[in-house]
Structure 1
Amino acid sequence: MDATVDWAVAKHPQAQLRRSGWVDLRGPWGFAFDNEDRGVQEGWPRRAEAFDREILVPFPPESAASGIQERGYHPVVWYRRVFELSPAGRAPRLHLTFGAVDYEAQVWVNGQFAGRHEGGHTPFTLDITACLSPETEQVIVVRVYDDPLDLTQPRGKQYWDPEPAEIWYHRTTGIWQPVWLEPLGEAFVEEVRWTADPDRFAAQMRLRVGGRAAKATQLRLRLSLRGRPLVDDIYALDGAVLDREIVLPRRMHRVQAVCWAPHHPHLIDASIELLAADGSVLDLVESYFGLRRIEAVDGRLLLNGVPLFLRLVLSQNYWPQSHLAPPSDEAIRREVELVKELGFNGVRIHQKIEDPRFLYWCDRLGVLVWGEAANAFQFDERAAQRLCREWADAVRRDYNHPCIITWVPLNESWGVPDLEHDPAQRAYVKALYHLTKTLDSTRPVIGNDGWQNAVGDIFGVHDYAMDPARLTERYGSGEALRRTFEAIRPAHNRLLVDGQTFEQQPVVVSEFGGLSIKPGEGENWYGYATTNDAQELLVLYGALVGALLDSTGIAGFCYTQLTDTEQETNGLLTAARKPKLDIATIRAITSRPARSVPSEILDAIFQHEIARRRGSRAEE
C-alpha cells in the first residue's frame, strides 16, 4: 500500500469492515450538562435551545480538546448533531455507529427514540432508517449517564474523586471514539471473522449477512498481498451465514513471504462483494487479516512455531489534552512508531479497551498487543454482569486483529478484592477465562494478571524490585521461578491461589521498573522509585532489563511504562511524547539478544512443531 491508501484505511473507525460511503460525524456538536436529570422530562430530544454549549466530538467534556474542560461531577450530559441527507441519495438503510460512549447512552433521531447501549469501551450500531425525516435536515440527540461514584462500573483508571491521585486519572465521560453513518443496501455484510491457519497457509472465513439476507445469492471474495492477487472466488449463499476455508496458492508457501510477525507484518487484503441474483452489487466491504498462530508450549510462547520473547511496554494510551481519546489520527500512528523506536516488540494496553484505529497501526507496523479490559473496583452480581457483557463485545470486535496475541480480562485482582478467600470471586475469574476461551480459542488467556493466578495459559507477575540481583534471584531460571511461585510474594500477594500449581505455563514479568527522575520541590508525583537524573535512570533501566533478558526461565517482560500519565511520571517519554533518554540507547538496551534457551526446551518445541506439521499434512 502507498501512504495515501494507508491513511484512507487508518482513518476509518473500523478498518476490519470498511465501506467507502461512510460519513464521519466527528466535529462540533451541541452540548449540555443535565445535573438535575430533567432533560427527558422536559423533552430535550426535540428542543434545540436546551443545548447551550458546543463540544468537539469525540473528546470528553473533562478534556481541554473538547472545548469544555469541566472536571466536576456531571453524571448526565447531552449531545446534539444536525446532518443533511439528500433525498436523491437515500439508501434502503442508514446505520449510525458510536465507537464508544462512556457509560450508558440513549439515542433519539428526529425526536424518535432509536436505541440504547450500556458499556463505555465498546461500539454499538443503530438502524435509524425508520427515524429519518422526509426533510433533508436530520437531528441526532444523545443522552449519556456516567455515574462517577459507581465503582461496579468497568472504568479502568478513571478516578472517582474530583482530582486524580496516585495511579488514577481524570475521567472520560460521554462520546470518546468516532461516530459515523453508513448507507447500506437491503442486504449487507454484517460481520466477517477470519481464523488463520499458517500450517496450511489457509484461513477460515465466517461471514454473516444482515438485513434481507435472502436478497443475496452470491458472494465474491478477492484476496491480495501487497497488491498481488491471491484468490478470486465466488460462493453461493443459501442463508445468513457463510463458512468457507480459503487456501492460499502454493507459490506463496514461504513463512516470511506471507505470515504475520513483528519483523514482517504482512497483511492479506480482502474485498468482499455481496451479489443479488441479477449480478448487481448489494454491498462492498474491505477487510484484512494476518496469517499467524500464537501458542504456549513448554514454558515458552511460540509465534508461527518460532520461540517468541516478549519485550513489551505498558501503555496507558492517555493524553493530557484529550484523556482516553487520541488527539488525532496522526497521534495514534506516532504512538505505535514510538514503541518500535524504543526497541519493544509489543505493548500491554492497560485498563483500557483500545480504539480499533490503534490496533490497525499495530497490525500494519508489526507491534504485538496484550488486549486488556477496563476493570471495576467492587465485586457484586451487577459488576460481574457488566464486565462479562462488555468484555465479550470487545473480544468479538477485535478477534480479527493479528497484533493481539493475549487476552487479559482482569488485572491485579481489580474488582475481585477478596479473590483469595471468596469462592464466588474465584469462580468469576475462572468464568471470565472460560468465556474468553469460548469466544476465542486461538489466543492464550491470563485470568488475573499480576498475582493470585487462579487460572491462565500464561502467568503474569508484577514485581517492582529495584535491585537487578533480586530479579535474577527470582526469575533467572526455571528453578528460580518454581521457588518464587511456591514461596515468594513479590507484591505482598500470593502468586497462586485455589489449588493452582506452577507447571509449564510461560511466565511473563508483566510489570516492572516504573522508574522516575526525582521530582522537584512541590511537584505532583507518583511512582515506584526515583533516580537523581537521566543518566542514573538509564543505568538502572539497563540493569533491570538486562537481568530479565539474561533469564532462561521467563517468556518475556513488560516495562512500566511508555509515557508519563498525569502524576504518574515514570514513563520513558514525557506526557507530551518527548524522550527523557536517548532513543537509540534505549533501543539498544531493549532489543539486545535474549538469553540462550536450554537445549531441552528447544528440543521439546522442535518435537511439538514436527508433530503439528505431520498432523496438518495428514488432514490434507
Structure 2
Amino acid sequence: MLNDKAVPRPEYPRPQMVRDRWMNLNGEWEFEMDHGKSGRARKLHAADRLAGKIIVPFCPESSLSGVEYKDFMASVWYRREFHVPAEWQGQRVLLHFGAVDYEAEVWINGVSAGRHQGGYSPFWIDITDLLVAGDNTVTVCAEDDIRSGLQSRGKQSAQYHSHQCDYTRTTGIWQTVWLECVPRHYISGLKYIPDPDNRCLHIEGSLIGEADGFVFSAEATFGSKNAGNGRAVVTGQKVELTLSLAEIHLWEPGVPNLYDLEVRLYHGNECVDKVSSYFGLRSVKWNDRAILINGKPIFQRLILDQGFYPDGIYTAPSDAALKNDIEISIGLGFNGARLHQKIFEPRFLYWADKLGYLVWGEHGSRGLDITSPMGLERMLPEWMEIVERDFNSPALIGWCPFNETWDVKAGPSRIAQDDEVLRIVYHVTKAIDRTRPVIDASGNYHVITDIFDIHDYEQDVEKFSARYEPMKTGGEVFNTFPDRQKYEGQPYFLSEYGGIWWNPEQKDDKSWGYGDRPKSEEEFIARYKGLTDCLLDNPRICAFCYTQLYDVEQEVNGLYTYDRKSKFDPEIIRKINSRTAAIEKESSR
C-alpha cells in the first residue's frame, strides 16, 4: 500500500477482498458548499481550487472534518490532487468511494468520470483512460435532500435541530476514498456460500476483461494449515468453484473460527491477479420456533446500535472505535446487534466476523416515501448493492430492508404503505441471498416475512409480561397491529424493547427516552431485569433487541453514554442477559 501514516482511517477499507497495490486518499481535500446547486454552471468541476478545506472521510457536519457546519447543505464540492505511481503504468486504476451521501458525480482532470445514487452503498470507477502523467485532480459533487421523501436518510434529522430519535445529518463523503491498481483482467467480485453439511465452500467469482478460458484457483488455510484447494475454468466473465474442506471449524457466536482464503486468476501459467480474503463456515436456518445457527437454536441477545459518534457522526474516528463498540456490547452479555437504520462500514462487519458477533443488516429506510412505486425505484438499486457488498460476512445473520413503515400523513388524511414495495424488495433480497432470513419491515407493517418481529416499549413489567404469557403454552401471539399484519407461525422476535430513560448526569431539558424515567439506578436495574427475564423465559421467543447500546445526542436510553462511558456496572447487565433462555433449555433436553 502507498499511504501517509498521518491520514485518518488509514486501514484497508475492504477486508474480504484485499490487494497489495492501493492508495488511501483520505486526509485534507479542498471543499466548498453550494447551497444554490449552481456549481456546475460555475464550472467548479474545472476550478483550480475550492474555497475551503475539509478532512475526508468525515462529513462536514462533524468536528473531525474541521468544518462542523450543522445546517442543511443542498450540494457540496470536494477537490484534491493525487499522483499515480509510475509502477502502476500499463495497469487499470480504480477509484473507490466507500459511501457518499447522497447523489455523487466524479470528475477526473475536469472530465466527468461517473455518477452514483445512494448514500450508503459503495461505488467504484475505472479512471485509467482519464489519467495523465504526473499530477491528477479528482473533483466530487454530492447533492443531498433528506426532506424530499425520495431518499433513505436513516436517523438523520429532517428538522434543523436534532430531536427525539433523529440526530445530526451527514452530507457528502463519509467513508474512505481510495485508489486501487488492478491488471487488465481482474477479479471484480467474490460471493461465498458456506456449506458445512457438505464440508465445503461454494465460490462464485465475477471478472472484468475477456477472461474466457482463464483458470480461477482458491486455497483455504486454517491457522497455518492447508484446508483445501480448488481450480475452475472461467466461462465468459463468471466462474463457479466448490472448494472441499479437509478440516471443519464452524463459525458461531463467541467462537469466531475463520479460514483465510487466497484467490488467483491465471492466464496459462501466469498469475495475472491475486486477492486475499477470509470466510466463516456456518449455516443459518429457521423453523417455527427458532433461528438455527449450525443446526442449534441460539437465543439472539441483541442490542440496538445506531452507528453514531460524537466527533465523527456517521464515521467512526478510528478502526479501534468500531471494535470497541462490539467489545463493550459483548461485555454486557449481548451476542449481537441490530445495525439500526444505517449501513455500517465493512470494517465494522470485519470486527464482528473476528469477534464472533451476530449482526442484522438493515437499510436506513427512514424518510423514504413508500406509498407509491417511486420508493421502490429509489431504494431497490442501493439495497441490492448493499446485499452484494455484505453477503460474505459470517456475522451477518439476516436482512431487514425497512423499519417501522408508518403511514404518511398528507393533509387531513393518511396514505398507507404500498405493500407491493415491501413484497418486491423481500423477493429480490431472497433472490440475491437464499441463505439468510429476511424481515420485510421491522416492527410494522409486515407483508411477507421469514421472522415475525414487533417493537414494544411498555415500561411496566407486569403489563409487559402479561402480553406474552399466553404464548408460553401455545396461546395467542401478541401482535401490535393485528388490523395491518398477520402472524403466520414464524419465529417470534422482539426486535425493540426497553429504551429505559436514564440520564442522571445529563440535565438538558431536550433529553428524550421512552416512558417514565426510573427514580434510581436500582429501579432501572429492576425494570431492565423484569423486562428481559420475561423474554428469556418464554419458549416461543427466539430473540430480543434492547434499545440501546449507547446514548445518541439527546436520546439518553443507552447502557453507555454517547462518549462510551458505562452508566452501570457491566457485570450486572451481563448476568441478566447471559441466563440460559427457555428456547435453549428445550433444545438441550
TM range (shorter): over 0.9
Does residue 566 of structure 1 match 2:553? yes
SS state of the match for residue 376, structure 2?
A: helix
Greater mean deviation of Cα atoms: 239-248 or 216-225? 216-225
The AA in structure 1 aligned to 2:262 is: S
Give the drift of 1:381: 3.1
Does residue 295 of structure 1 match 2:285? yes
Does residue 276 of structure 1 match 2:267? yes
**Counterpart in 2 of 1:92?**
91
Give the drift of 1:236: 2.9
Does residue 208 of structure 1 match 2:193? no
The AA in structure 2 aligned to 1:129 is: T
Does residue 226 of structure 1 match 2:228? no
Query: Using the alignment, how far apart are the partners of 1:480 and 1:422 within structure 2?
Result: 38
**Counterpart in 1 of 2:434?**
441
SS state of the match for residue 457, structure 2?
A: coil
CA contact (8 A) 1:476 1:553 kept: no
Give the drift of 1:416: 6.7
Alpha carbons of structure 1 residues 43 and 451: separation in structure 2 relative to 1, 3 Å: closer
Give the drift of 1:469: 2.5
Query: Using the alignment, how far apart are the partners of 2:388 and 2:502 within structure 1?
Result: 41
**Counterpart in 1 of 2:393?**
401
SS state of the match for residue 199, structure 1?
A: helix
Residue of structure 2 aligned with 1:473, choices 459, 466, 481: 466
What does 1:197-346 align with in structure 2 at a 5 Å threshold?
A: 197-214=195-212, 217-249=214-246, 252-253=247-248, 258-277=249-268, 279-346=269-336
Query: Using the alignment, how far apart are the partners of 1:10 and 1:347 within structure 2?
Result: 26
Query: Using the alignment, how far apart are the partners of 1:588 and 1:342 within structure 2?
Result: 8
Gaps (5+ residues) in structure 2? Answer: 1-8
Give the drift of 1:399: 0.7
**Counterpart in 2 of 1:168?**
166
What does 1:22-41 align with in structure 2 at a 5 Å threshold?
A: 22-41=22-41
* Residues 452-510 of structure 1: CA deviation (Å, up to 9, x unaligned): 3221110111001112222322224535775244xx53xxxx14636x3x343110111
Give the drift of 1:513: 0.5
* Residues 10-29 of structure 1: CA deviation (Å, up to 9, x unaligned): 93211111101111111111
Give the drift of 1:91: 4.1
**Counterpart in 1 of 2:502?**
517
CA contact (8 A) 2:27 2:57 kept: yes
Query: Using the alignment, how far apart are the partners of 2:507 and 2:174 within structure 1?
Result: 35
What does 1:106-145 align with in structure 2 at a 5 Å threshold?
A: 106-134=105-133, 136-145=134-143
Give the drift of 1:113: 0.8
Give the drift of 1:145: 0.5
* Residues 351-408 of structure 1: CA deviation (Å, up to 9, x unaligned): 0011111001001100001110111342333322111111111111111111111100
SS state of the match for residue 418, structure 2?
A: helix
Alpha carbons of structure 1 residues 271 and 52: separation in structure 2 relative to 1, 3 Å: same
Query: Using the alignment, how far apart are the partners of 1:30 and 1:574 within structure 2?
Result: 34
TM-score, structure 1 as length reference: 0.89
Query: Using the alignment, how far apart are the partners of 1:178 and 1:64 within structure 2?
Result: 17
Query: Using the alignment, how far apart are the partners of 1:518 and 1:571 within structure 2?
Result: 9
CA contact (8 A) 2:156 2:166 kept: yes
Query: Using the alignment, how far apart are the partners of 2:317 and 2:449 within structure 1?
Result: 35
Does residue 352 of structure 1 match 2:342? yes
Give the drift of 1:290: 1.1
* Residues 217-244 of structure 1: CA deviation (Å, up to 9, x unaligned): 2223110112211123333334311111
Structure number with the higher helix fraction is 1
* Residues 567-604 of structure 1: CA deviation (Å, up to 9, x unaligned): 111000000010000111111111111125686x889x
Query: Using the alignment, how far apart are the partners of 1:465 and 1:423 within structure 2?
Result: 25
Query: Using the alignment, how far apart are the partners of 2:57 and 2:12 within structure 1?
Result: 14
SS state of the match for residue 541, structure 1?
A: helix
CA contact (8 A) 1:154 1:383 kept: no
* Residues 180-211 of structure 1: CA deviation (Å, up to 9, x unaligned): 10011110001110001111111111111113
Gaps (5+ residues) in structure 1? Answer: 1-8, 604-620
SS state of the match for residue 461, structure 1?
A: strand
Residue of structure 2 aligned with 1:382, choices 356, 374, 385: 374
Query: Using the alignment, how far apart are the partners of 1:547 and 1:191 within structure 2?
Result: 44
Residue of structure 1 aligned with 2:185, choices 184, 187, 201: 187
SS state of the match for residue 383, structure 2?
A: helix
Give the drift of 1:73: 1.9
Greater mean deviation of Cα atoms: 292-301 or 100-109? 292-301
Alpha carbons of structure 1 residues 57 and 245: separation in structure 2 relative to 1, 3 Å: same
CA contact (8 A) 1:458 1:505 kept: yes
Residue of structure 2 aligned with 1:549, choices 529, 536, 541: 536
Give the drift of 1:44: 1.4
The AA in structure 2 aligned to 1:220 is: S
Query: Using the alignment, how far apart are the partners of 2:281 and 2:351 within structure 1?
Result: 16
**Percent identity (aligned):** 36
Query: Using the alignment, how far apart are the partners of 2:473 and 2:554 within structure 1?
Result: 35
SS state of the match for residue 515, structure 1?
A: coil
Query: Using the alignment, how far apart are the partners of 2:65 and 2:227 within structure 1?
Result: 45
Alpha carbons of structure 1 residues 137 and 481: separation in structure 2 relative to 1, 3 Å: farther
CA contact (8 A) 1:10 1:360 kept: no
CA contact (8 A) 1:369 1:404 kept: yes
Give the drift of 1:282: 1.1
SS state of the match for residue 501, structure 2?
A: strand
* Residues 100-126 of structure 1: CA deviation (Å, up to 9, x unaligned): 000000000111110000000000010
Greater mean deviation of Cα atoms: 376-385 or 399-408? 376-385
SS state of the match for residue 314, structure 2?
A: coil
CA contact (8 A) 1:109 1:139 kept: yes
What does 1:483-494 align with in structure 2 at a 5 Å threshold?
A: 483-485=476-478, 489=480, 494=481
CA contact (8 A) 1:377 1:416 kept: no
Query: Using the alignment, how far apart are the partners of 2:447 and 2:79 within structure 1?
Result: 46
SS state of the match for residue 379, structure 2?
A: helix
Give the drift of 1:536: 2.3
The AA in structure 1 aligned to 2:158 is: W
Give the drift of 1:415: 7.2
Query: Using the alignment, how far apart are the partners of 2:469 and 2:583 within structure 1?
Result: 12
**Counterpart in 2 of 1:146?**
144
Query: Using the alignment, how far apart are the partners of 1:495 and 1:597 within structure 2?
Result: 29
SS state of the match for residue 64, structure 2?
A: helix
Alpha carbons of structure 1 residues 479 and 336: separation in structure 2 relative to 1, 3 Å: closer
Alpha carbons of structure 1 residues 434 and 237: separation in structure 2 relative to 1, 3 Å: closer
Query: Using the alignment, how far apart are the partners of 1:417 and 1:306 within structure 2?
Result: 44
Alpha carbons of structure 1 residues 484 and 237: separation in structure 2 relative to 1, 3 Å: closer
The AA in structure 2 aligned to 1:378 is: D
SS state of the match for residue 441, structure 2?
A: coil
Greater mean deviation of Cα atoms: 440-449 or 467-476? 467-476
Query: Using the alignment, how far apart are the partners of 2:344 and 2:507 within structure 1?
Result: 35
The AA in structure 2 aligned to 1:576 is: D
SS state of the match for residue 66, structure 1?
A: coil
CA contact (8 A) 2:215 2:233 kept: yes
SS state of the match for residue 483, structure 1?
A: coil
Give the drift of 1:423: 8.1
**Counterpart in 2 of 1:533?**
520
CA contact (8 A) 2:88 2:181 kept: no
The AA in structure 1 aligned to 2:463 is: R
**Counterpart in 1 of 2:403?**
411
**Counterpart in 2 of 1:15?**
15
